[in-house]
């Protein structure tokens, strides 16, 4: 899933090297994942074996770690990309955690200009209280779906930096 809050128009960074990272089990293993000319950021689950999130940012971009949080069984990783005046993030909600608490933390992260990728374990094609809470959060934070909502692709969202003039 991708969550975007970006200006209208203009070029966007290639953020394709982000992932959920079910293979990360410890710090040593995370450090072994190195891609030439990229900085590897990661946040793995510490209370159970494996999982988490990971992102590689090309070293030709000026970047820094903004936030790395593991709370309530959910992973949140945000990286500042100076050239684009935006933060790129990776989020993982395994689906069995407290969804309301997940949304509370996630809402605080949607207040800045960000593009977030991840696995939210929320089926936007199913109408239930979980989906309604999720959609309400997106609406409140002025985010929108940026891909087709189909059985194959149903969880990518985005937000424009500026509101459309009336």
165 assigned to some structural domain: no
Q: Which two tokens stand for residue 6?
A: 């970006």
Taking the chain (166 residues) in runs of 10, the rounded mean pLDDT of each run is: 38 48 69 85 78 88 95 93 89 89 91 79 86 90 76 54 36
Cβ(117)–Cβ(89) under 8 Å? Answer: yes
Tally of domains in the chain: 1
Burial of 44 (0-12, 13-18, 19+ CB in 10 A): buried
Q: Given this model, what pLDDT does residue 31 score?
A: 76
Domain that holds residue 133: 2-160
129 assigned to some structural domain: yes
**Number of residues written out for the chain:** 166
Q: Given this model, what pLDDT does residue 16 score?
A: 42
CATH for 63 = 3.60.10.10
84 assigned to some structural domain: yes
Q: Given this model, what pLDDT does residue 49 score?
A: 62
166 assigned to some structural domain: no
Q: Given this model, what pLDDT does residue 11 score?
A: 46
Whole-prediction pTM:
0.74
């Amino acid at each position: 899933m991708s969550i975007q809050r970006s200006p209208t128009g203009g070029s966007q960074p290639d953020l394709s090297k982000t992932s959920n990272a079910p293979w990360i089990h410890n710090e040593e293993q995370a450090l072994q994942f190195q891609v030439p000319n990229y900085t590897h950021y990661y946040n793995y689950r510490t209370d159970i074996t494996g999982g988490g999130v990971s992102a590689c940012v090309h070293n030709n971009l000026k970047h820094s770690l903004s936030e790395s949080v593991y709370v309530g069984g959910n992973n949140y990783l945000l990286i500042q990309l100076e050239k684009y005046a935006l933060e790129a993030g990776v989020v993982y909600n395994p689906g069995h955690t407290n969804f309301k608490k997940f949304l509370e933390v996630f809402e605080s992260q949607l207040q800045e200009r960000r593009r977030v990728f991840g696995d939210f374990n929320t089926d936007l094609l199913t109408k239930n209280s979980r989906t309604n809470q999720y959609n309400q959060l997106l609406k409140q934070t002025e985010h929108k779906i940026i891909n087709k909502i189909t059985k194959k692709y149903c969880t990518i969202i985005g937000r424009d930096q500026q509101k459309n003039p009336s």
